[in-house]
Amino acid sequence: MILPVATAHLCEYFICFLFFNTVFHTEKKPLTICSLGLILYSVVFAAYMIFDSIFVNIIATLIFNFIFGFVFYKRTVISSAFCSLFLSIALTSSEFIVMSVMSVGVDNDINAYKTSQLMLWLMTFLSRTVYLVIVMLVATKLPRSTLSRIPPFMLLIPIASTATLYALWSVSSKNNISDTDSFLIIAAGIGIFISILLTYIFYANTEKKLEESYKTQTEAKKIKTDLAYYNILEQQNSNLRAYAHDTKNHLSAIKNLNTNPEIEMHISQMSENLAQYSKVCHSGNHTLDVIVDKYVTECNINGLNFEFDIKNNNLSMIEPYDMVTILGNLLDNALEAAKNSAQKIVSFETDYRNNFSIIIVSNSCDTNPMSDGKTLPVTTKGNKQLHGFGLKSVRNALKKYNGDISFDYDNREKVFVVTVMVDAVNK
């Protein structure tokens, strides 16, 4: 019966590999990790064959899973220990489930899988299939950040549960207990696993909600700060424009009184320099004008060409707070992306079509940020989670105005385009 046992261990290893490779990222190539891990896991199988002990097998598997996460995927001690314990519990619970199902059809014999090689093969196939389903469901649903922040005391739950499951396994394997007791033991084992799983799902969801709440508060504070900044900026710009206007008038008067061509040339140059302090955008919407003026200045500082075209509708239906949320996030993303492009162009335009106000933000982009089937552009910012949250804030703000957002990439022109449509009639 060595072959089905070896197959079972091999399946366990590849499921472990799939779990870590799904939940975490690593710089190492998957094939390299898979090969090294396979060599290491052969030690686990050898230990099982030498000692022929379930206890030794559990300990060896726990150690292997821990090393796999800690060494190959560079996880923390706590994160690696949790993943190792989870895999062990999931495997044991899967075998409990399959044992109970198989015993129903074979005179309620809990050890039915030991009666023949065919039954052992069936036990191997069914239990590892259930194991795979459980592991991959958790791997795809459990937030990666949650595994990195598990408190040490929460490891006591899977440790105690692993010990309990081992004890239940030992008891259920004895032949001198009744069928009813066997089923009760199996039910208890399955119940333990489900309870653990629900506990960590609840914990993960709570962590996720707290994180989103924090991000929401952070975003709200940022928007309020931006609004205050825009108001101050507009006041300063207004004073600066007034000063520039008066200075140009004085220079014009001096130029008329001057007869020296060289002095006249300097006066003309000074007048041209002062022209940049004139108000850039004249849409009639105070918030929109300040935002455009701000990004014109930022693009000049960063060596980017900022083009804008405000047509027909000035987006007066959008409240200032939401205006900053929508345009601030979109233009921030466009500016960051354009910095890393060859053409270094950012474009902003508005239009009005069929009772909808149209906002189009585009930027030069050398590669498609939505490649590999992605629905959202890949950010160049250091904090990718906040980037995604920024787009989520944009979507939430647009809901108030029956708005929608879409993304497109022109591969020929190397331009990424974001199009926003806002209902200008029914808010």
Tens-place pLDDT, residues 259-301: 667 766 766 666 665 555 554 666 778 788 888 888 887 888 8
Place of tokens 């015993």: 103
List every span in the chain annotated with CATH 3.30.565.10.
281-427
Q: How far apart are CA 406 and CA 418, in angstroms?
A: 6
- Amino acid found at 14: F
pLDDT band at 346 (very low <50, low <70, confident <90, very high): very high
Taking residues 30-48, report their average pLDDT: 79
Residue 232 has pLDDT above 70, yes or no: no
Query: What's the pLDDT score for residue 365?
Result: 92
Query: What's the pLDDT score for residue 426?
Result: 65
404-410/345-353 β-pairing: unpaired
Q: How far apart are CA 209 and CA 207, in angstroms?
A: 6
Taking residues 70-79, report their average pLDDT: 83
**CA distances (Å), 183 to each of 96, 126, 169, 171, 378, in order?**
10, 18, 12, 11, 51
pLDDT band at 405 (very low <50, low <70, confident <90, very high): very high
Query: What's the pLDDT score for residue 382?
Result: 47
Query: What's the pLDDT score for residue 279?
Result: 47
Taking residues 48-55, report their average pLDDT: 73
Compute the CA torsion angle 344, 345, 346, 350 (nearest 10 deg): -170
Taking residues 169-182, report their average pLDDT: 62
Q: How far apart are CA 82 and CA 86, in angstroms?
A: 6
Better pLDDT: 266 or 10 = 10
Taking residues 398-413, report their average pLDDT: 90
Strand partners, 353: 356
CATH number at 281-427: 3.30.565.10
Query: What's the pLDDT score for residue 260?
Result: 67
Q: 163: Cβ–Cβ under 8 A, 6 or more apart, which residues?
A: none
What is the rounded average pLDDT for all residues in the chain?
75
Compute the CA torsion angle 53, 54, 57, 63 (nearest 10 deg): -120
Q: How far apart are CA 296 and CA 304, in angstroms?
A: 9
Q: How far apart are CA 110 and CA 172, in angstroms?
A: 7
Backbone angles phi, psi at 260, to 5 degrees: -85, 120
> Among the listed ranges 81-90, 178-187, 230-239, 290-299, which one has the minimum average pLDDT value?
230-239
Q: How far apart are CA 143 and CA 340, in angstroms?
A: 30
Backbone angles phi, psi at 365, to 5 degrees: -155, 120
Determine what percent of the chain is predicted with pLDDT higher than 70.
Answer: 60
Of 77, 52, 79, 87, give the one whose Cα is nearest residue 165.
87
Q: How far apart are CA 274 and CA 258, in angstroms?
A: 19
Two tokens at 315?
């987006």
Which tens digit of pLDDT belongs to each residue from 315-329? 888 888 888 888 888
Taking residues 33-45, report their average pLDDT: 80
Query: What's the pLDDT score for residue 193?
Result: 67
In the chain, the largest separation of any two C-alpha atoms, in whole Å, equals 119
Better pLDDT: 91 or 230 = 91
Taking residues 90-118, report their average pLDDT: 69
pLDDT band at 244 (very low <50, low <70, confident <90, very high): low
